[in-house]
Structure 1
Amino acid sequence: MDAVKKRIKMVDIARAAGVSQTTVSLVLNNIDGVRIADDTRQRVIETARKLGYTPGPALNVLERDVPTVIGVLINEISAAYPIDIIDGLHMSARAQAVQLAVFVTDGVTDREAEALASLRRLNAGGVIYANTFTTGVHPTRELDQFPHVFVNCFRTDGKGVAVVPGERAGGFVAARHLMESGCKRIATITGDSWHTSAQRRLYGFRRGLTTGGQALAPELLIHGSWGHGSGYQSMKQLLALPEPPDGVFCQNDMMARGALTAIAEAGLRVPQDIAVIGFDDREFASDLGLTTLIQPYADMATRAMAVLHRRRGLDAPTTLSVRCRLVQRETTRVVG
């Protein structure tokens, strides 16, 4: 029996072409508004063809009758997270035999309107409106001319279907995991307190503590600002308390990395003295052995494409939460 042919992925193309996976995604998704050298772009396309990768828009946009086009409006493409969203949308589009037309808008309504005008000319069958971080958005009114679904964001007026990460549930899971691993005095370092994600993660964290019979003491709540330095300084503040915490939930992995640095400088052990949980599962998290929660960007993209494909209930105000799965590593004690 012949061996099953390996499915070529973007990481395979990146390795063969000698470029980053981000560059491959930008080229094969034909993302507008991003500068990539012509020779690099051509090398990626030729490598994809050579490896037998199923063509995306950049490979066959000028060939045959193109199937239905789905537009993607995203505010930026410089961070790591949007690539996961784009890759998830791309894989779903391939499964549905549709093409993606991706536009980077910087969140500017005029650029959104221009992108939507281009999508009208392409006779696009729908639009995915995505954002780098979970927040309320004010899309241009032209968006209402298309069937659309929001990914990692939601309309501030509550209209439409939004697919977002289950951040409240994620905070809840973090609190319960720390309690179940034996922590008795648990702290949290949040992101910017005005930020939607920080508020949702904190709400779930408080609820998790409460249902487990604990409460969040005022001195154990530190409002940070998402960065490494913020996590470092906040952890030093916690360690200076007369009774420091024995468990800390950092609302992202960058702050968790800073917290781990501060703990190491204090000569304390992780997780024996202090257990640490992050959020996001950034690329460095596994190297640090950091217990964290995975942001389900690809799953959100797949869910959104399925909703858009069904074309049902798009006008009804609906929020779909996708579970953020806990990955247990060395910075917390083994549960059970």
Structure 2
Amino acid sequence: MSKRVRMLDIARTAGVSQTTVSLVLNRVPNVRIAEDTRQRVFDAARELGYAPGPSLAEPTTSSLRRFGVLINEISAAYPIDLIEGLQTLADDQGVQLIIQVTGGLADREAAALETLRVLGVEGIIYASTFTAIVEPTTALSALPHVLLNCRRADGVGTAIVPAERAGGFLATRHLIERGCKRIATITGDPWQEATRARLHGYRHALRRAGLSVPEHFVRTGDWSHHSGDDSASQLFALSDSPDGIFCHNDKIARGAIAAARRLGVAIPEDVAIVGYDDREFAADLEPSLTSVTLPHAEMAERAMTVLLKGKAGLDRPLRRVHGRLIERASSSRQGAR
């Protein structure tokens, strides 16, 4: 059985980003992409034997089942994983996806839903780029739908979200099992759902192991390389500097690694570092970065599976999908002090 061609393969062949490939092949409207770039993507897809889902050029003539996708934005790696996961399962099941980018605006959501209703979709995937608590337009309730990477504050509806608390616990437990005793964390933006959940998992793992959680070991960041570098520099200056750091994403961890190298702090001998998201660059860092995966593709496939089942699939309000810890050199079990 031949290996399935993925959008990442097409992106490499065409010399464009995976985001561009997804936008072109899914024919996402209202996105400016040069015509020669579009053609390179189509040529690469044809050359590699990519088998896309049915074209939306003639939606009224298709007899296939149709489903809509509403997503607030497409501007980073994360939504591409969501969309590719949805598209992969849709292709396998022989159904049609119609993707609408709404900017998270209620009027654009309502207009997109009306368009999808006219096109005869059976259900909607309502997706968020970042894990969030959302307030969808009331028009969404008129169609079967699944919330992907988001949930409502009132708990209404079926939501598929990452198990962020479990991920924070997993990362911290790994450092504990490695032998670290003074474990710090550098968070993302404090207002975000993912930050609060990952921090909760960190604290729970430490308490469960009987370790203290000094408040000066909890540093607030903003998901950036700079905040990782700055926060780690402050941590390394402490008299009781940490021997383990759980960074809430890989960009923060990359900044922490940069600070350690600049200040002569050996990784992992002096400090072990764990990131989150398992971004493409994690394996290429020096040292390579241990990271917890963010299971966007699995979440998307789970959401699509639920929606395909119709009412029978919409029987559970909240489903959390767990990531995995990928151990690399930044926390290898040799050299703990």
TM-score tier after normalising by the smaller chain length: over 0.9
What's 1:34 paired with? 31
The amino acid that maps onto 1:196 is E
Give TM-score, length-normalised by structure 2.
0.93
SS in 2 for 1:258: helix
The amino acid that maps onto 2:141 is D
The amino acid that maps onto 2:109 is E
Quote the Cα distance in structure 2 between the aligned partners of 1:269 and 1:315. 50
The amino acid that maps onto 1:90 is Q
Q: Does structure 2 conserve the Cα–Cα contact (< 8 Å) formed by 1:280 and 1:295?
A: yes
SS in 2 for 1:134: strand
Quote the Cα distance in structure 2 between the aligned partners of 1:8 and 1:218. 48
Per-residue deviation at 1:317? 6.1
SS in 1 for 2:149: strand
SS in 1 for 2:330: coil
Check 1:16–1:171 CA distance in 2 against 1; reply closer, same or farther (3 A cut).
closer
Whether 1:310 and 2:309 are equivalent positions in the alignment is: yes
Per-residue deviation at 1:61? 4.3
What CA RMSD, in Å, does the superposition of the two structures yield over aligned residues?
Answer: 1.9
Per-residue deviation at 1:154? 0.6
Query: After superposition, what is the alpha-carbon deviation per residue over 1:87-144, rounded to whole angstroms, capped at 9, x for unaligned?
Result: 0000011112111111111100110011101101110011001111111001101111
Q: How does 1:186-265 map to 2 (within 5 A)?
A: 186-265=183-262
The amino acid that maps onto 2:320 is S
SS in 2 for 1:131: strand
Q: How many residues are treated as equivalent by the alignment?
A: 332
Whether 1:85 and 2:114 are equivalent positions in the alignment is: no
Per-residue deviation at 1:195? 1.5
Query: After superposition, what is the alpha-carbon deviation per residue over 1:274-294, rounded to whole angstroms, capped at 9, x for unaligned?
Result: 000011111211111000111
SS in 2 for 1:226: coil
The amino acid that maps onto 1:293 is V
What's 2:271 paired with? 274
Quote the Cα distance in structure 2 between the aligned partners of 1:299 and 1:60. 28
What's 1:169 paired with? 166
What's 2:299 paired with? 300
Q: More deviation in 44-53 or 176-185?
A: 44-53
Per-residue deviation at 1:57? 4.3
How many percent identity over aligned positions? Answer: 53
Query: After superposition, what is the alpha-carbon deviation per residue over 1:239-283, rounded to whole angstroms, capped at 9, x for unaligned?
Result: 121110100001111111111111111111000000000111112
Per-residue deviation at 1:38? 2.4
After superposing on structure 2, the runs of 4+ consecutive aligned residues of structure 1 that deviate more than 4 Å are: 57-64, 313-317
Quote the Cα distance in structure 1 between the aligned partners of 2:159 and 2:64. 25
Give TM-score, length-normalised by structure 1.
0.94
Quote the Cα distance in structure 2 between the aligned partners of 1:33 and 1:334. 50
Whether 1:139 and 2:136 are equivalent positions in the alignment is: yes
SS in 2 for 1:320: strand
What's 1:323 paired with? 322
Per-residue deviation at 1:316? 5.5
What's 1:104 paired with? 101
The amino acid that maps onto 1:45 is F
Quote the Cα distance in structure 2 between the aligned partners of 1:320 and 1:245. 35
Q: How does 1:31-70 map to 2 (within 5 A)?
A: 31-58=28-55, 61=58, 65-70=62-67
Per-residue deviation at 1:60? 6.3
Check 1:252–1:266 CA distance in 2 against 1; reply closer, same or farther (3 A cut).
same
Quote the Cα distance in structure 2 between the aligned partners of 1:228 and 1:31. 31
Quote the Cα distance in structure 2 between the aligned partners of 1:192 and 1:209. 22
Check 1:227–1:85 CA distance in 2 against 1; reply closer, same or farther (3 A cut).
same
